[in-house]
Chains A and B, each alone.
Chain A
Amino acid sequence: MKRVAAAVFLIVTAVSLSVWSSFVFNAEMDSLLRTIDGLIDFSESCSSEELEEKTEILLAEWEKSSKLLHSLVMHEGMDMLEEDITSLPLIIEHSDREEFKKKCIEAINQIENLINAEKINIENIF
C-alpha cells in the first residue's frame, strides 16, 4: 500500500511539474512575444532614445524570464533567442531600423518555434 501511495505521489508530482512548467513557459513566452511585437510597431514611429528605452524594458523582461525558462527549456533553443534579444541595443546604436526589425522578427520566430515544440500534438509526440 505504501508503494502504491509512493507511485501516486510520483505520478501526481510528474503531472504537476509538467502542467506547471507548460503554464509558466506559455505565460513567459506570450509576454515576450507581445513585448517584441509591440517593439516592432513602436520602432516605425519613434526616436532612437524612445526605442532604446523600450528595448531596455524588453531586456529587463528577458533577464527576468530567462532564469526560469532555462530550467524548463533545452538551453540550445534559448541561446539563439538570447542572442537575438541581446543584440538589439547594439543595432539601435547603429541606427539601423531595418536590421532592428529583422532581429525582432527573428526573435519572434524563435519564440514561436519554442512554443510549437512544446505544444501537445502528433508531430511533437511521435
Chain B
Amino acid sequence: MVVTLIRATVLYVIIIFLMRIMGKRQIGELQPSELVVTILLSEIASIPMQDNSVPILHSVVALFALVAYEIFSSVIGLKSNKLRAFIQGHPVIIIRDGEIDIKALKKLRISLNDLVSLLRQKDVFDISQVSYAVFETNGKISVLLKPEHRNSTVKDLGISPSDKGMPFTVICDGAVVDNAVEQSQFDISKIQKLVLSSKIPVEEIMIMTVNKDGIAYIARKDNEN
C-alpha cells in the first residue's frame, strides 16, 4: 500500500509538472488534439498507479514524449498555417446573413438541433438576428449579430468615460502579493504609503487593489472598508 502511495505521489508530481509545461487552458478551450493528449496523459499515468508491477519508467517515457510532441506540434503550428490547418482544422462559416449553410453543417456533421442549441448558449434565440456564425476548431461557435441587434457600446452612446485600468490585488489575506505589485508598476513604497494612510495594518487587510491611477480599494478582514 505504501508503495502505491509513493508511486501515486511521484506520478502526481510528474503530471503537475507536465501540465504546467503544456500551458493553461480550460477543457472547453482545448483543441481536439490537445484534448486527446490530456486524456492520454491521465490514462497513461493511471496504469502504473493501479498496477505496481508496471515500472513507472514506462509511463514516464510515454508521458514525456507525448507532451513534447504536443508542444512541438503547437509551436510548428504557429509557424506553419498548413500544419495548423492539418492538426486543428479550419473555422467554418455555418450562418451567413441569417441563412444556415446546410452543406457546411452536413460536412461538420452538426444537426440543426445542435446548431440551435449552440446558438442558445450564446444567448441567440432568433437565427434571423445572426449576421455570421462561425464553427471554431475547438467545437464552439462564434456569433456576430446583425448591427441592429448588437448591444450598444460606449462609443455608440457618444460618451467618453475615463479609463481607470485594471485593478491589481496587491494585498490578499494579510500578505503582499509581490507578483501583483510588480504588474501594477507601482513601487512597494507607494503601496506602503497607501496602507499607512488607510491606518489598517497589512495583516488585517483582507484585500487591497490598486488601479493605474493609484486609487486603492481596501477591505478589512472584519469587512470594514
Known: A3-B71, A10-B21. A17 touches B55 (CB 8 A): no
* A14 and B53 contacting across the interface, CB-CB below 8 Å: no
* B55 and A70 contacting across the interface, CB-CB below 8 Å: yes
* B68 and A8 contacting across the interface, CB-CB below 8 Å: yes
B105 within 8 Å of A (CB atoms): no
Checking A7, A13, A73, A75 against B72 with a beta-carbon cut-off of 8 angstroms, the contacting residue is A7
Interface of A (DSSP majority class): helix
Q: Note all chain B residues with C-beta closer than 8 A to A72.
A: 55, 57
CB distance from B69 to the nearest CB of A (A): 8
* A71 and B55 contacting across the interface, CB-CB below 8 Å: yes
Complex interface bits, A46-74 against B, C-beta within 8 A gives 1, otherwise 0: 00000000000000000000000011111
CB distance from A14 to the nearest CB of B (A): 4
B35 within 8 Å of A (CB atoms): no
Tier of interface size on chain B: 20 to 34
Tier of interface size on chain A: 10 to 19
Checking B23, B61, B69, B72 against A17 with a beta-carbon cut-off of 8 angstroms, the contacting residue is B61
Checking A11, A71, A74, A75 against B68 with a beta-carbon cut-off of 8 angstroms, the contacting residue is A11
Interface of B (DSSP majority class): helix
Q: Note all chain A residues with C-beta closer than 8 A to B23.
A: 3
Checking B56, B65, B71, B72 against A14 with a beta-carbon cut-off of 8 angstroms, the contacting residue is B65
CB distance from A11 to the nearest CB of B (A): 4
Closest to B21 in A: A6
A113 within 8 Å of B (CB atoms): no
CB distance from A16 to the nearest CB of B (A): 10
Q: Note all chain A residues with C-beta closer than 8 A to B57.
A: 17, 21, 71-72
Within 8 A of A (CB), among B33-59: 52-58
Q: Note all chain A residues with C-beta closer than 8 A to B71.
A: 3-4, 6-7, 10
B positions within 8 Å CB-CB of A: 18, 21, 23, 52-58, 60-62, 64-65, 67-69, 71-72, 75
